[in-house]
Amino acid sequence: MNFINLDIQSDIASITINREKALNALNSDVLKELDQAIDIIEDRISDIRVLTIRGAGEKSFVAGADISEMVKLSPLEAREFLTYGQRVLDRIELLPIPVIAIVNGYALGGGLELALACDIRLATENAVLGLPEVSLGLIPSFGGTQRLTRAVGTSVAKSMILMGKKIDAKRAYELGLVDDVASFENLDEKLGKMIKTLKKMAPVALHAAKDAIYAASNTDIISGQELEVNYASMCFSTDDLREGMSAFLEKRKAEFTGK
């Protein structure tokens, strides 16, 4: 792969989008490689506990979909490109493991949309987040109108999308759009703590929780609660639930096996 570095160390997978000169903008080659990286992760999913995604360098996470490629597209070609981008981001959102976006700089357009498809966002102090597509004559189209609105509500989503308002890491934290902010110096430490916390959790329960939360945005409350109770009941068939509850009662640390 030319634009995506996938590194799997022990049980942590790390994707770096490696197109620094174009601020890691997503063209169709980058999307294809991201798709391939997810194939590899899915093949090895039982060995992986957490995925992280970042952009190469210290300036940009991802500055959006590639404008120099999009400018040449016909409506039908645009539909194909944008639908593909949506599908790749959906695959990330639906992975059964927690995915952390390390928002290291610009997260604009498709970049913020990629971060929104991840479960947790850790921003660096220089991060700038926004959906400036209307200034290009376009609208957010890798799921941004849907996921940003669900994440921060209609009012903030409208101000960010209609006015192309870019926000810094501090404001994104206040809005709950990012979960934590780190300087480049303490980024690894904060990331390490997040990963450590996630690795203490029961893997099957994490997967079930992700699916149930996904249903909250995509179904009515009655069906969502039915799904929730089905997942919760399924947890009672796992070794991990016995271990988690026994460990609590015996005042010891749980050792989960993911079974």
Interface positions with ligand CAA (CB under 6 A): 22-23, 25, 63-68, 85, 106, 108-110, 113, 132-133, 136, 138, 140-142, 144
Let me know: does 116 contact 172? Beta carbons within 8 Å: no
Side-chain half-sphere CA neighbours of 209 within 13 A = 10
User: Does the annotation count 133 as an active-site position?
Assistant: yes
Question: Residue 64 in contact with residue 108, Cβ under 8 Å?
Answer: yes
Residue of 80, 133, 174, 250 marked catalytic: 133
Smaller CB separation from ligand CAA, 136 or 201: 136
Q: How far is the CB of 128 from ligand CAA (least distance, A)?
A: 7
Q: Which of 54, 35, 43, 65 has its CA nearest to residue 120?
A: 54
CB closer to ligand CAA, 36 vs 86: 86
Rounded to a whole number of angstroms, the minimum distance from the CB of residue 64 to ligand CAA is: 3
The maximal CA–CA distance of the chain, rounded, in angstroms, is 64
Residues 6+ apart with CB under 8 A from 124: 58, 102, 103, 104, 105, 169, 181, 182, 183, 184, 187
Q: How far is the CB of 133 from ligand CAA (least distance, A)?
A: 5
Q: Give the count of beta carbons closer than 10 Å to the beta carbon of residue 37.
A: 22
Residue with Cβ nearer ligand CAA (116 or 194): 116
Distance of CA 126 to the CA centre of its chain: 19
- Residue of 113, 185, 226, 243 marked active site: 113
Q: Which of 68, 233 has the CB closer to ligand CAA?
A: 68
Shorter beta-carbon distance to ligand CAA: residue 26 or 215: 26
Give the C-alpha distances (Å, rounded to integers) separating 219 from 20, 65, 120, 212. Answer: 39, 29, 22, 10
Give least dist CB 144 to ligand CAA, A.
Answer: 6
In whole angstroms, the minimum distance from the beta carbon of 230 to ligand CAA comes to 34
113 counts as catalytic = yes
Range list of β-strands (E), the chain:
4-9, 12-17, 50-55, 60-62, 99-103, 106-108, 120-124, 128-130, 167-168, 180-182
Active site residues: 113, 133
